[in-house]
Structure 1
Amino acid sequence: MAVPPEIRVHPELVPFLEKLPPYSDPYEDIAATRERFHALLKMRAADRSGVRSKRYDVPRPDGSALTVEVYWPEDTGDASSAAPLPAVLHFHGGGYAIGRSLPGQDRTALELCRSLRAVTIAVEYRLAPEHRYPAGVEDCYLALEWTAAQAVELGVDPERIAVTGKSAGGGLSAAVALMARDRGGPAITYQSMCIPDLDDRVADGPIPADTADTSPNPMVNTWRSVRAAWRHYLPEGYPPEGTTPDPYSSPARASDLSGLPPAYIQVCDLDPLRDAGLAYARRLMDAGVPVTVRNVPGAWHGFELYAPETRVAKESTAHWTGHLRAALYPGTVA
């Protein structure tokens, strides 16, 4: 199907958008959606070259366990005796409900470990709708505390811990940075957020006419997807009448953004999350937080998954990972 002219798609990406299947509601049968996602992962084996990993069970206050997978550069040997490396906590995307990778197969964590030379921790936080807010974000914060507490065993420099994620993972990164500041938790040196889902208010109001929702083939993150994600992530009846969501559920609700770590925010032109991401970046700047912002013109939410070999996808990835590298290794060029 042809893309309507009012949808300003990057010329390099037009063929990929035209080939995508029609939109379907991922929450209609969340178990089936997760099965399809994992089946796709099994068809495309991740490149584990140069990386080793180990799974850990981190005890929660209620006695249950949070699973994290730690990835190290293969040549580091005994982590506890090697020179400490920076650490990156990676919170996967997936609308707070899907996106968990197969054991040892987190593609983003693997690539960050290799390209950044950093210990990368993939956090298997609890998923909605079975586990609604605050389960997922509390898991992510617990992973931060655990990483800092186990720094010597993991071979991690506790002064160089960053958080990163895309989409829901970007929102969780922002929330964890707020929690660390407010709770006096472990220091975060950098928060890197790509296409972050930051504001539950995007679920309100009319759907703009000039978005990918008007496309005949909108298998991209649409306003319908965003609204469904928030409905399933936040508890029913939340927040109580007369109150607003707290900032850890919806970071854009935070009244004070001062004192947060330097940030990177990448948005995409055709993403319904774009304006909320740009607004959050501006508010961080106004609060005195150093921020790097990049908009990918003509791209939709998660376009790299569909067109990874395009120039625009490679440039996008190089940009955000380069700035993360520079933050973890001060003095290097992004």
Structure 2
Amino acid sequence: MTTTARPDLDPELRALLADMPLIPHLTPEVLAQLRQFPATPVDSLLTHRRAGHRTVTVPAEDGTPLPLSVFTPANADHSTASAPCVYWMHGGGMIMGDRFSQIDIPLEWLDEFGAVVVSVDYRLAPEATGTTPVEDCYQGLLWIAEHAEDLGIDPGRIIVAGASAGGGLAAGVALLARDLGGPAIAGQILICPMLDHRNTSVSSRQYAGGPGVWTREMNEFAWRALLGGLDGHGDLGDDGGLGDLSGAQVPPYASPARADDLSGLPTTYIDTGSAEVFRDEDTDYASRIWAAGGQAELHVWAGGFHGFDALFPQAPLSATARRTRTDWLARTLRRERAV
């Protein structure tokens, strides 16, 4: 049963959201239209900063070419191989977006820390299903580690990061790296991450019904596109979720909340809004990392809706969220450099 009571939106964010056209629902036809929008104009983000940008191609496990964008500070000293690296996975529900989506977030860390930023064009659902997107992202991590010297980065200071679907993929990459014995990851930044295909939490039910930035129904559509029958259920279950998935075949690398063991993960930063679908699965993920003896920092921004700081970075709450995230990264990079 849908819960109608919801946390209020932050007043400044509410005013900004009122002027934004929202998608009432997602269908294959709507998705096709959304995919026709042009990519983020990355050149405009580079005009005011001294940074180089090049594209490399990395083979996926099945040989499919995966484009990676590499952003490097213009004054980088490749002879020392001491820069941190932020490996970025974009949002878009795993069904849309590209390697330039939300790229302004990690580019702030290029400015702040002299970080090399690498962003991956993983394959999207429904054309790519199951673990294909997260495995694509893992191949990008392998390439970064193998080319650390050429990139001028410290292999001990690689951070995986992503927003929304990208946050879920970053979490899946961290699980893969742990279970496959590397590469080493110094930290993971999970921004309003999409972690749980079951879609049955209180916050998921609170944000059912549209239109919205990302509703429960949109989330169901995206997960169905990704799972491609892995759940063993072609129709929605009686509870509105994707069937009875307690014993399903959905791998934890695709849906990280399904992982039984969250020990041995890199230090983690998770943030989310109080007024969004992913709030409860995100807070639960942080709690389970603590329960497993790991380190996580969790921020639930009161009145924040899904992706608020990416959509409206000028809002006061957004500026606070982004600065807090950057402060955490500064502390993490200092600790790793001191080791």
TM-score under structure 1 length normalisation: 0.88
CA gap 1:299/1:186 in 2 versus in 1, 3 angstroms: same
Code of the residue aligned with 1:53 in structure 2: it is: H
**Among 301, 305, 309, the residue aligned to 2:306:** 301
Residue by residue over 1:264-291, the C-alpha shift from the partner in whole angstroms, topping out at 9 and shown as x without a partner, is: 1001111111000000100000001111
1:223 equivalent among 206, 209, 216: 216
Match of 1:106 among 103, 106, 111: 103
2:172 pairs with 171, 175, 181, which one? Answer: 175
Percent identity (aligned): 35
| Map 1:17-96 → 2, pairs under 5 A | 17-29=17-29, 30-36=31-37, 38=39, 41-42=40-41, 45-48=44-47, 49-76=49-76, 79=78, 81-96=79-94
Equivalent residue letter for 2:21 = P
Residues 257 and 93 of structure 1, relative CA distance in 2, 3 Å threshold: same
CA contact (8 A) 2:66 2:121 kept: yes
Contact 2:125 2:226 in 1 (8 A): yes
Q: Which amino acid aligns with 1:87?
A: C
| Long gaps (5+) in structure 1 | none
Q: After superposition, what is the alpha-carbon deviation per residue over 1:116-139, rounded to whole angstroms, capped at 9, x for unaligned?
A: 321111011111111112111001
Structure 1 residue 204, shift from structure 2 partner: 8.3
Decide which of 255, 278, 282 is 2:283's aligned counterpart.
Answer: 278
Rounded to whole Å, the distance in 1 between the matches of 2:74 and 2:178 is 33
| Cα displacement (A) at 1:100 | 0.7
Cα distance in 1 between the residues matched to 2:24 and 2:38: 14
Q: Secondary structure at the match of 2:300?
A: strand
With over 3 angstroms needed to count, the CA separation of the structure-2 counterparts of 1:14 and 1:187, relative to structure 1, is same
Return closer, same or farther for 1:282/1:179 CA change in 2, 3 Å cut-off. Answer: same
Residue type matched to 1:282 in 2? S
2:266 is aligned to: 261
Give the secondary-structure state (helix, strand or coil) at the position aligned to 1:175.
helix
- For 1:6 and 1:204, how far apart are their aligned partners in 2? 13
Q: CA RMSD in A?
A: 2.6
Structure 1 residues 16 and 317, CA gap change in structure 2 (3 angstroms): same
- Give 2:72's aligned amino acid: W
The 2-side partners of 1:53 and 1:43 are apart by: 10
Call closer, same or farther: CA 1:281–1:23 in 2, change over 3 Å.
Answer: same
Matched, 1:319 2:316: no
* SS in structure 2 at match of 1:257: coil
For structure 2, the 5+ residue unaligned runs are 234-244
Q: Cα deviations across residues 135-189 of structure 1 (Å, max 9, x unaligned)? A: 1100111111111111111111111111000100110111111101111121111
2:181 corresponds to? 184
CA distance in 2, matches of 1:121, 1:206: 32
Give the TM-score taking structure 2 as reference length: 0.86
CA contact 1:194–1:266 (8 Å) conserved in 2: yes
Change in CA separation of 1:233 and 1:293 when aligned onto 2, cut-off 3 Å: same
* Cα distance change of structure 1 residues 301 and 327 upon mapping to structure 2, 3 Å threshold: same
**What is the Cα deviation at residue 304 of structure 1?**
2.3
Residues 174 and 292 (structure 1), Cα distance of their counterparts in 2 relative to 1, 3 Å cut: same
Paired residue for 1:15? 15
Helix, strand or coil: the match of 1:285? Answer: helix
Please say which of residues 245-254 and 18-27 is displaced more in the overlay: 18-27
Of the structure 1 ranges 189-198 and 61-70, higher mean CA displacement relative to structure 2 is found in 61-70
Give the secondary-structure state (helix, strand or coil) at the position aligned to 2:70.
strand
Per-residue Cα deviation, 1:255-313 (whole angstroms, up to 9, x for no partner):
11111111010011111110000001000000011110001101100112442211111
Higher deviation after alignment, 232-241 or 242-251: 232-241
**1:150-169 alignment, distance < 5 Å:** 150-169=147-166
Residues 302 and 321 (structure 1 numbering): CA distance in 2 closer, same or farther, change over 3 Å? same
Report the counterpart of residue 242 of structure 2 in structure 1: none
Distance 1:161 1:206, change over 3 A: closer
Q: Distance in 1 between matches of 2:202 and 2:336?
A: 45
Q: Contact 1:132 / 1:233 at 8 angstroms: preserved in 2?
A: yes
3-state SS, counterpart of residue 335 of structure 2? coil
1:43-70 per-residue CA deviation (whole Å, 9 max, x = no partner) reads 9932441211111111233332111111
Tell me which residue corresponds to 1:194: 191
- Shift in Å at residue 74 of structure 1? 0.9
Contact between 1:203 and 1:223, CA under 8 Å: does it hold in 2? no
Whole-Å Cα distance in 2 between the matches of residues 182 and 331 of structure 1? 21
Helix, strand or coil at the partner of 1:271: coil
Determine if the alignment matches structure 1 residue 138 to structure 2 residue 135.
Answer: yes
One-letter amino acid of the structure 1 residue matched with residue 16 of structure 2? F
